[in-house]
Structure formats: structure tokens, C-alpha cells
Amino acid sequence: MATWPATEEELEALQRELALAADAAPRWLPPPGPLAVAGVFCASPTGSSGRAGEPMWAAAVLLREGREPRRAVARGTAPAPYRPGFLALREGALLERAVRGLDEPPDVLLTNATGRDHPRRAGLALHLGAVLDLPTVGVTDRPLLASPAEPGPARGDRVPLLLDREPVAAAVRTRAGARPVVAHAAWRTGVREAVAVVLASSGPARTPEPLRLARRLARVARAADEGRLPPGSRDAPPPTDR
């Protein structure tokens, strides 16, 4: 079972193991009927420099057609500074807590991190899926290492992004006239599944709706703790495991 290491050296070794495990893991097959898609997002303090020891807020939102949204918030302290390629040290455990706070598991999980587009082919989106035993898809604004490319202008246009000539993600136009997002293959998902989930869960906004709502909820929790949320606001976050 995958865990959250305490040091960069331990994480590097585990990431190499996870990359091999992901190669061998069975590919996710979406179940029949409406999908339960969750998004999870971690927010740092306003004006954060990405240092260790600062407070952080993670939120998860699960959406399924015909059902009320499920929400969960987790608060914690950053155990590590921000460093590209090592985001799992900083955010992984708190993101896991937020997802486990949902009252039902999703069919697939979106997170603001990379998967195969990573120095050791195992970014946080892939790592989180292995820990939770859930299919995952990463969604970012830009690739980490893969060569950038621009899709066509229409909604649904996409172009694969390659790392060492291997497709690891795709630039996807979720809204005509908006910048594309990058859909990352992660745990038990390939580029095709990543693109399909991102498009199926995208509404009028550029960001897929479960991830957009999770980002908003994490920022609302942060605003509440920083004293920037008006008393009695309808945006008050749900109870948290703190």
C-alpha cells in the first residue's frame, strides 16, 4: 500500500516504485450510469511563499447527476516546502484526509497535480490515487515536463503532450475562447480517459466543475480562518476534521 514519505529521498524511491505499479495496474473502466466525480484542492495562506510549517486547507467536492453535492474540508500544516516534483510531501496527506472525509467514494478523482508528466513518472495525482485506491486524473494549467502544444479553438479539441515521445497528458479546450487545461494520465487512467473525464465534468467554466468547486471551498475555508469571511456568510465551509 502506498504511503506518504517524510523525506525527498524516500519520496523519490517510492515514486519510482509507483510508476512501475501504475504500469501493471488494471485500466479503469467507467461504471454504467452517471459518474460520481470528485475534485480535491489544497490552498496555502494568502501571500504564501510555499514554506514548510504554514497552515493549509484542503477541500473535496463530489458531484453526481441528480444528487446533492458532497463536501469535506481538512485543515493542517505544510510538512514540507513547495518544490516541483515533490508536491506529495507538502499536500498529499491533507488531500487524502479531505477525500476520506466525503460520505461516499467517487468513481474517479480530479486533482490539481500531474500524473505521468513527472521526472519519475509518478506525480501527486498518480500517488494520491494509489494511496486511496481510486482512479485519478490530474488537471493543471500547463505541463510540468511534457512538450507544450496548442489544441484547436473549439470545445473538445485536444492534442497529446509527449514526454520522451510518450503521451503522458493532453491539452484540452474545455471552453471555446478560453485557455486549454492539461488533462494528465494518473492512477489507472490513460490520456484518453483523462480527456474524457475532464470534458464530461466541465460546465460553463474552464476548470472541471468538481475541481472548481473544491478550489472555491478550500479558499472559503482559508478566508474563514483568516477572518476575511463576513459573519453569517452562506459560503461558510462545512465541518472539518481539523
Per domain, the residue ranges of the chain are 37-225
Element housing 55 (H / E): strand 55-63
Q: Per-residue pLDDT tens for 200-235?
A: 999 999 999 999 999 999 999 999 999 887 666 666
> Which class in CATH covers the domain with range 37-225?
alpha beta
Q: Identify the bridge partners of residue 232 per DSSP, sorted by sequence position.
A: none
Q: Per-residue pLDDT tens for 102-124?
A: 999 999 999 999 999 999 999 99
Radius of gyration of the chain (CA): 17
Q: Mean pLDDT of all residues in the chain? A: 95
Task: Give the sign of the dihedral formed by CA 183, CA 189, CA 192, CA 198.
Answer: negative
Name the grid cell of 29: 473502466
Residue written as grid cell 461558510:
236
